[in-house]
A and B are shown apart, each in its own frame.
Chain A
Amino acid sequence: MAKHVCLQSVLSVRSVRLWNALSGFQSRSDRLQFQLLQRRQISRQAQLFTGSQNDSSLNTKILVHFINQDGVKNSVTVSEGETLLDVVINKNLDISGFGACEGTLACSTCHLVFEENIYNRLDPVVDEEVDMLDLAYGVSNTSRLGCQVTVESWMDGMTVCVPQEVKDQRELSKRTK
């Protein structure tokens, strides 16, 4: 299982945006390169899991844990000033359909659930954001849109969750009707 977890974190560098723009993997040398890359990625991820605070090269970076809709955890180091939507895109986190409107407050697909102590310290929410959250499913008392939350140093170590998938479509269409 441990191996799977590592591979899953490698997955985090695959791009939701890039996956479809890339061409085929065919040659043997490509495969070799892949194995190398895989090892490098795994060690990078391993570094991450052992805690970034002690690593001087990551001092200006902030650690954020994402739990996606399948319950899979991805941990990434992030620069201050990026929105959480930027992070998901830039780090190629595997969250299907995240940020459909590209951060223009026209959908609720970048909905994230925060830990209460973090949520309480976030910048106040504007009406337009709540308008969109009102349409999201799985909304909780600590929900925000990822495109509206900018990463700051005090958030280091926080965990944000993508709401678990709603299995019942009738529930869904009722809510968004």
Chain B
Amino acid sequence: MNRTVQKSLFFIVKSVRTSPSNFAGKLYAWRGLSTTPDPHTKVCIVGGGPAGFYTAQHIIKGRPDVQVDVYERLPVPFGLVRFGVAPDHPEVKNVINTFTQTAQHERCRFLGNVNVGKDVSVDELRQVYHAVVLSYGAEGNRSLGVPGEHLSGVYSAKDFVGWYNGLPYNRELQPDLSHDTAVILGQGNVAVDVARILLAPLDMLKKTDITQAALDALANSQVRRVLIVGRRGPMQVACTIKELREMVNLPGTQPDMLTDDFHGVNEALKDLPRPRKRLTELMLKALKEQAVKGAHRKWGFRFLRSPLDVLPSADGTRAAAIRLALNKLEGSGDEARAVPTGEVEEVPCGVIISSIGYKSLPIDSAVPFDPRKAIIPNTMGRVQETTGLYCSGWVKRGPTGVIATTMNDSFDTGRVLLQDLDSGAIDLSEARLGAQGIAPLLEKRGVRPVSFSDWEKISGEEVRRGEAQGKPREKMLDVQEMLSVAWS
């Protein structure tokens, strides 16, 4: 079957589907456009992670007259799919195939190596695009706000994850893993990812795209025990069951939990909703079986404990222990609150990783930002009080949710944007320059964008380097090196 025919058929049918009453009008408009090689409607997306690509996909699919340009700060695309998702979860990264198809669509353009807010302002983008979507994720992290958190030996999970996943900004982290016990604060999936990477058998990690530097550091790691500390109880744990099951099944390790932490849990089990019930049952099973296992490496949850301060070593140079306030719960279920009992506990540990959440940052003074919720204030993806400006992904709803959640919320933003194009809420009467209008600005500022085929050169080189070591790829850690391969 002729490919061009397939596609045109798709678009015609699609326009019928979205608004049947309007079929003839749309078709006419579309036919008129088919003679113009340059699509009329120019949409710009800021951020080349899942939110950016899923929003682009929805918009391109929804209208035949839209050109979508995706601006990304780094020379490499895919955001947290490349720099967040754990290296031993290659199956999660399959979404990259869909993103690649979107990027290669004739009406999509990827412009890497452009830092929006610095190299080009959001106002400048709005002048040359009919609509701008902010999908730049959550590049900051929540901090504990406790004394001693800046001591050496204390890391944020965001940096630690960035380090083992080859994020250029975290290249120099070189965490000191010459200690027996690591404490992770927070019990979300990121915390569990970090625990698993710290304890996973090296043979398992060797076959992944974890960086060679991280692999070497983990090979020399002295960490034998990882405690994952939460302020609330077992029935409030934030991680999901798949990740817990992976910990339970991790070769060479055994759980190390406290029976006291599970007081009253058995009794409450029967009233829990299924997902929570299964998760809790799996924890209870791990607790029960821990006595019979004899592994050298241990991991465990510690519940009802909030960090008070990080205690320095005798010479004052680094972290040596953490002081925790013991809590009790007020209320029950997801909404239960932790309140201190007044009791305190000290846990000696040389590695402390704070994993209490990521946080979005304001991009540009021209864009509204809610500092309390750390999101762009929006109604269903429309940025409040700003026509033609939208948001999707973590910067829209906060730093929670798996890729599927981000996908749905990006489709929602795409849908709203298409509605605004259809209804005339976005003024399309004037032609806009799109990327052509940005190119001279970037050139003047000495910024050269990386195209998607440039990225494919980088990717090809990474895969080649990985092959030599039996890895799917060896990531480049240096932006300059990426650029020189891209433009070679």
CB pair B9 A109 closer than 8 Å: no
Contact present for B401 and A176 (CB under 8 Å): yes
Give Cα A21–Cα B102 distance, bound, in whole angstroms: 8
* Contact (A134, B105) CB under 8 Å given A14-B9, A19-B10, A33-B5: no
The 9 closest A-B pairs by CB, nearest first: A25-B8, A104-B91, A134-B275, A22-B7, A20-B105, A14-B10, A102-B94, A106-B91, A11-B13
Query: Which chain A residues have a beta carbon within 8 Å of chain B's beta carbons?
Result: 1, 4, 7-8, 10-11, 13-15, 17-26, 30-31, 33-34, 37-38, 72, 94, 96-97, 100-102, 104-109, 127-128, 130-132, 134-135, 165-166, 169, 172-174, 176-177
Measured between C-beta atoms, what is the minimum distance from A104 to chain B in Å?
Answer: 3
Chain B residue nearest in CB terms to A166? B408
Check B197 for interface membership: any CB of A closer than 8 A: no
User: Counting CB contacts under 8 A, is B3 at the interface?
Assistant: yes
Q: Are B8 and A31 in contact (CB under 8 A)?
A: yes
A102/B97 in contact, CB under 8 A: yes
- A14 B242 Cβ-Cβ under 8 A: no
Cβ A97 vs Cβ B274 within 8 A: no
B9, B105, B411: most-surrounded residue (chain A CB, <10 A): B9
> Across the interface, do A132 and B405 meet the contact criterion of CB distance under 8 Å?
no
Q: In the complex, what's the smallest C-beta–C-beta distance from B28 to chain A, in angstroms?
A: 13
Can you list 24 contacts pairing A with B, beta carbon distance less than 8 Å?
A1-B20, A7-B17, A18-B6, A19-B7, A19-B105, A22-B3, A22-B6, A25-B8, A97-B411, A104-B91, A106-B89, A107-B404, A109-B404, A132-B242, A134-B241, A134-B278, A134-B279, A169-B380, A169-B397, A172-B405, A172-B408, A176-B400, A176-B401, A177-B400
Interface size on B, residues (CB 8 A): 61
Interface residues of B, dominant DSSP: helix
Tell me the residues in window 385-407 of chain B with beta carbons closer than 8 Å to chain A beta carbons.
Answer: 397-398, 400-405, 407
Measured CB to CB, the residues of B under 8 A from A are: 1-14, 16-17, 20, 34-35, 54, 57-58, 60-61, 89, 91-92, 94-95, 97-98, 101-102, 104-106, 108, 238, 240-242, 245, 274-275, 278-279, 334, 380, 397-398, 400-405, 407-409, 411-412
Contact of B92 with A30 in the complex, beta carbons under 8 Å:
no
Q: Is the CB of B240 within 8 A of A134?
A: yes
- Once the chains are docked, how many angstroms separate the CA of A93 from the CA of B234? 42
| CA A165 to CA B89, docked complex, whole Å | 27
The answer to whether B102 and A23 touch across the interface, beta carbons within 8 angstroms, is no
Please tell me if the beta carbons of B17 and A20 are within 8 angstroms of each other in the complex.
no
Given contacts A7-B13, A135-B240, 11 further A-B contacts (CB under 8 A): A13-B6, A17-B98, A20-B57, A22-B7, A23-B106, A34-B8, A105-B91, A106-B91, A127-B245, A134-B278, A177-B400
Contact of A25 among B7, B92, B242, B400 (CB under 8 A): B7
